[in-house]
Amino acid sequence: MAILKIAQMGHPILRQVADPIDPNAITDAAVQHLIGEMYETMLDADGAGIAAPQVHCSVRLVICTFEDGVTVLINPVITPLSDEKISSWEGCLSVEGMRAMVERHAEIRIQYYDQTGTQHDRIMKDWNAIVAQHECDHLDGILYVERCDPKTLSFNTEFSKYAAGLGEE
């Protein structure tokens, strides 16, 4: 497997709505190869997740590290289950060296196919919901910097020095 180049903010692929993957093609060699390379790239970059558009492939595929392990989400559909929101510090492999406070739905329903083509319907809360929403935003051409509190946007080097002044608890 190869480590793929990660698109950075400003690259047009990060602003596109990704195409769905034909469920009948999920087990094809091309999709399986992409999953493997994305996984290796995510590990190499020390990410909590990665979306196909981040590696220059505009399809609806993400890999997320949830509390119960790594999960492949193909053609995910997210439905918020309440108006309750939670805030957390987010960074992104496509916005290198920065982070900010982002408010997201605290509880979601997510429907998706896994890497074997099996359909899933799960309820996610807190950390898992945050990761899923962040990665799935990439499939709609949205970066976390569009959802963040702009007053908290910080370079990682400054964040480590001044986090308390940025609202870090």
- The residues that are catalytic are 135
28 φ, ψ to 5°? Answer: -65, 155
End-to-end CA distance of the chain: 40
Kindly report the number of other CB atoms within 10 A of residue 141's CB atom.
16
In the chain, the amino acid numbered 49 is G
Which phi-psi region, left, alpha or beta, contains residue 167 (left: φ > 0; alpha: ψ -120 to 50)? Answer: left
CB 73 within 8 A of CB 18: no
| CA-angle at 79, arms to 76 and 81, nearest 5° | 145
SS3 34: helix
- Please identify which residue in the block is written with the tokens 């997320």: 64
